[in-house]
Amino acid sequence: KNQVEQSPQSLIILEGKNCTLQCNYTVSPFSNLRWYKQDTGRGPVSLTIMTFSENTKSNGRYTATLDADTKQSSLHITASQLSDSASYICVVSPYSGGGADGLTFGKGTHLIIQP
């Protein structure tokens, strides 16, 4: 069964600090992995998308890494800001298409940035 496991479940850090969120998956075959940010009361917003051949991708202070061999991904947030407080969801697709067929969502990591 395809699964996406995220850790930690929740995380509290001080403003300005860095943090790393983890995503392990068992989805096969693998096509791409996406990280979404979901603010409270809002829909998820895409941060990065990586295919099998990509090891790292950055979006501002967000840097995602992918190790397709170990089926692990991480999302690193640098110099955290209060606005980074949100849930971060890892989503893995077994197909090259953008449809929801087979998309497997993680439960998310709830990140709280404290001043």
Partner 1 sequence: EAGVAQSPRYKIIEKRQSVAFWCNPISGHATLYWYQQILGQGPKLLIQFQNNGVVDDSQLPKDRFSAERLKGVDSTLKIQPAKLEDSAVYLCASSLDLSGGDEQFFGPGTRLTVL
Whole-angstrom distance, CA of residue 81 vs CA of residue 79 = 7
**Binding track, positions 23-62, relative to partner 1; x by CB under 8 A:** --------xx-x------xxxxxx--x-x-----------
How many residues touch partner 1 under the rule CB under 8 A: the total is: 26
Three-state SS at 83: helix
Q: Kindly report the CA angle at 34 between 30 and 35, in degrees rounded to 5?
A: 145
**How many CB atoms sit inside 10 A of residue 23's CB?**
26
Cβ of 87: how many Cβ atoms within 10 Å?
A: 19
Backbone angles phi and psi of 89, in degrees to 5 = -110, 130
Site for partner 1 in 63-102 (CB under 8 A): 89, 91, 93, 96-101
Nearer to partner 1, 45 or 79 (CB): 45
CB of 85 to partner 1, least distance (A): 16
Tokens of 59: 């979006």
Residues from 2 through 21 that contact partner 1 (CB under 8 A): 4
Q: For binding to partner 1 (CB under 8 A), which residues are involved?
A: 4, 31-32, 34, 41-46, 49, 51, 89, 91, 93, 96-101, 103, 105-108
